[in-house]
Amino acid sequence: MSEKTRVIIPDIHGNHGDGPATTACLQDVKRLAPSEIVLLGDLLDCGGVFSTHQRTYTNELAESYSADVEAANSFLDALQAVAPSAKIHYLEGNHEQHVERWAARAFLNKDDADTLLDAYGPWAALRLKSRGIRYYRRSVLYQGLSIPGAIRLGQCFFVHGVSHAKHAASEHLRAFGASVVYGHTHRSQAVVERTVTSSGHGAWCPGCLCKLQPLYKHTVPTTWAHGYGLQFVAASGRFMHVNVPIVRGGSLLPRYLG
């Protein structure tokens, strides 16, 4: 039997989240009762407010940071309600980082920028300190690792993403040289390779829990997929990883859990 169950939740993008997909994920989390949860980042979107990307539709002008934060807080409330004893790790995504990028452009003094971030940054807006959720910023090194914003839990690394390539799983496996789970690409991918000196490492992206066809992709059908990650972790740190698909708002996992 595993010593712990770990759930890995990919990009939701605030009020751009897919309701049925997030509900299915939360229902599975309640059944699994994980002791550990990793949020891979982009729980918030921040795109229509803080992003410098050119907006091309009037619908995008209706986006607000307050609505974005409200959606993310609602998800965190629900997540902690179904997994009250789980330790939660929150990796900052590039969309949460939009707020810091905006502050860096708007202020000439670091203290002024930090004061704004402490009041309106993701960790403040989502009340992460009072929730007991650890937040890992993309600009900070953790655990002696060589790149910022990444962590290691047992024998697996976690990062929001270091590549958006078509074969991003292979790129992450090459970059880390070890097992790693990432988000960012919204595509469900997995690659496992054995080497002469190891029994094998893998790289996995669980997919996403956001809408599969956003407005800015209007003429380009996406290859995104809904899902989340599940790991059964032994006392040694060894683990079995499963990308759990969510199709048309439904998860097949309960059928196999009994």
Q: List, in order of start, the domains of the chain with CATH numbers.
A: 4-201+217-257 (3.60.21.10)
Locate 219 and state its tokens. 């003429």
Whether residue 208 contacts residue 183, with contact meaning beta carbons closer than 8 Å, is answered with yes
H or E element: which one contains 205? strand 198-206
The pLDDT of 220-238, averaged and rounded, is 94
Whether residue 142 contacts residue 134, with contact meaning beta carbons closer than 8 Å, is answered with no
The pLDDT of 153-158, averaged and rounded, is 96
The residues, ordered by sequence, that sit 6+ positions from 57 with a Cβ below 8 Å of its Cβ are 215
Whether residue 137 contacts residue 148, with contact meaning beta carbons closer than 8 Å, is answered with yes
Locate 153 and state its tokens. 């839990």
Nearest to 1 by CA among 156, 257, 229, 232: 232
* Per-residue confidence (pLDDT) for residue 29, from 0 to 100: 98
Q: Which of 61-75, 128-142, 164-178 has the lowest mean pLDDT?
A: 61-75
Band the pLDDT of 196: cuts 50, 70, 90. Answer: confident
183 has a pLDDT exceeding 60 = yes
Taking the mean position of all CA atoms in its chain, how far away is CA 78? 16
61 has a pLDDT exceeding 90 = no
217 has a pLDDT exceeding 70 = yes
Whether residue 46 contacts residue 72, with contact meaning beta carbons closer than 8 Å, is answered with no
* Per-residue confidence (pLDDT) for residue 198, from 0 to 100: 75
Terminal Cα distance for the chain, rounded: 16
Residue 97 to residue 102: CA distance in whole angstroms: 9
* Per-residue confidence (pLDDT) for residue 257, from 0 to 100: 74
